[in-house]
Amino acid sequence: MSGWTLGIETTAHTLSFGLVDAEGVPYPAASDTLRPDEGGIHPREAADHHKDVAKALFEQSLEQQNLTPADISAVAYSQGPGLGPCLRVGAAIARGLATRMNVPLIGVNHCVAHIEIGRQQCGCDDPVLLYVSGGNTQVIARLNGRYRVLGETLDIGIGNMLDKFARAQGIPFPGGPVIEQKARAYLDANPNPSMEGLQLPYAVRGMDLAFSGLMTAAQRLIEQGASLEAVCWSLQEHAFASCVEVAERAMAHTGKAELLLGGGVACNQRLRTMCEEMAKDRDGQSFAPPRMYCIDNGTMIALLGFIELRHRTTPLSESGIDQYLRTDQTPIAWS
């Protein structure tokens, strides 16, 4: 059973251990997410959480596949981008395990891992990626050996925007799924809804996006007496339409026919449907991985580690982290 690659994900509030086998086949991760009672995530508290649960979660990830540490042949970890204290815990765990098990270590790019698990799961080849997560919102495509960021948020990530709006309404983290439910309830009650009185600013700037003005305006609608369900619906429609517009322009510019969703917000069925409709209009196709591989997970880190280990390893002396690692900083040495 040897030859497995372990992946460790700790970029933000989730600690996750995932595995791929000797052929690179992925298996569901063992994950634990810090959900603060109030307020956003505090990087130090998240890092402490990761430290506290690491041992039990690592053991659980092995037990899930009936493995022992002797079956692990390599350890991959998220090198960035993310919250410094959280990343450092992951890197320390990875160094410790790789040293103890005497196997190669590899630090990988978290954003690129979202792309590769999506390609692997969906069987698409050369997609434009719409990466919509808590901290990141980017439209990415592979050009000349790198995943290039063609457009991105100029302020906060779309997931953070949804979470912050939700928090202001007393909805705990993660707010995105609750907003989705409320928007759906609004549609069930209003099958032919109108935007009258529910308009929000629509912030597409060239290929870039912005979300904080949208959040403030949505809050103002609530203060003016609009129902929470109605505003959730409008907020989703506006925020997702802006992402889909940039993704469509990226497909047009690059001539690519595939769209791939990634990141936690890609769990949203309304966003998935909007992407499918846009891609179909262009005679293309939109793909979304299973939800457990949209959210942050160790399996995608294991998979990218497995792919990259054919080309490089990370020596202990270079096994630090990079909070600001960019998607286009990582050379793509694989097909």
Q: Kindly list the residues in this chain that would bind ligand AMP in the complex (CB under 6 A).
A: 14, 133-135, 159, 162-163, 174-177, 180, 263-265, 267-268, 295-296
H or E stretch at 14: strand 14-20
Q: Which residue type sits at 299?
A: T
Q: How far is the CB of 141 from ligand AMP (least distance, A)?
A: 19
Kindly write out the interface string for residues 78-117 of this chain, putting x where it contacts Mg ion by CB under 5 A and - elsewhere.
Answer: ----------------------------------------
Instruction: Enumerate residues 6+ apart whose C-beta is below 8 A from 265.
Output: 132, 133, 134, 158, 159, 162, 176, 271
Q: Which long-range CB contacts under 8 A does 58-65 form with residues at least 24 apart?
A: 58/17, 58/30, 58/93, 58/97, 60/17, 60/30, 61/6, 61/17, 61/18, 61/19, 61/29, 61/30, 61/298, 64/27, 64/28, 64/30, 65/4, 65/19, 65/27
Full DSSP string of 238-258: HHHHHHHHHHHHHHHHHT--E
Q: How far is the CB of 18 from Mg ion (least distance, A)?
A: 13
Q: How far is the CB of 137 from ligand AMP (least distance, A)?
A: 10
Q: How far is the CB of 138 from ligand AMP (least distance, A)?
A: 12
d(CA 328, CA 146): 6
**27-66: which residues touch Mg ion (CB under 5 A)?**
none
The item of ligand AMP, Mg ion, none sharing an interface with residue 24, based on CB under 5 to 8 Å by kind, is none
The item of ligand AMP, Mg ion, none sharing an interface with residue 26, based on CB under 5 to 8 Å by kind, is none
Tell whether residue 296 is a contact of Mg ion (CB under 5 A).
yes
The item of Mg ion, ligand AMP, none sharing an interface with residue 18, based on CB under 5 to 8 Å by kind, is none
Which C-beta is closer to Mg ion: that of 229 or that of 296? 296
Residue nearest to ligand AMP (CB): 264
Which C-beta is closer to ligand AMP: that of 181 or that of 190? 181
d(CA 127, CA 139): 10
Interacting stretch for Mg ion, rule CB under 5 A, among 37-45, 232-240, 271-279, 293-301?
A: 293-301
Q: How far is the CB of 233 from ligand AMP (least distance, A)?
A: 13
Residue nearest to Mg ion (CB): 133
Q: How far is the CB of 133 from Mg ion (least distance, A)?
A: 4
Which C-beta is closer to ligand AMP: that of 265 or that of 288? 265
Helices 175-189 and 269-281: angle between axes, nearest 10 degrees:
70
Strand order in the sheet with 4-9: 26-33, 14-20, 4-9, 72-80, 105-109
d(CA 219, CA 197): 13
Interacting stretch for Mg ion, rule CB under 5 A, among 28-36, 63-71, 126-134, 221-229?
A: 126-134
H-only helix segments in the chain: 43-64, 84-101, 110-122, 158-168, 175-189, 212-223, 228-254, 269-281, 298-308
Determine how β-strand 72-80 pairs with β-strand 105-109.
Answer: parallel
Q: How far is the CB of 262 from Mg ion (least distance, A)?
A: 8
Which C-beta is closer to ligand AMP: that of 272 or that of 282? 272
Q: Are 108 and 304 in contact (CB under 8 A)?
A: yes
Which C-beta is closer to ligand AMP: that of 95 or that of 164? 164
d(CA 240, CA 320): 35
Q: Which residue type sits at 9?
A: E
Which C-beta is closer to ligand AMP: that of 7 or that of 175? 175
Kindly write out the interface string for residues 129-148 of this chain, putting x where it contacts Mg ion by CB under 5 A and - elsewhere.
Answer: ----x---------------
Q: How far is the CB of 10 from ligand AMP (least distance, A)?
A: 12
Report the interface residues with Mg ion, using CB under 5 A.
133, 296
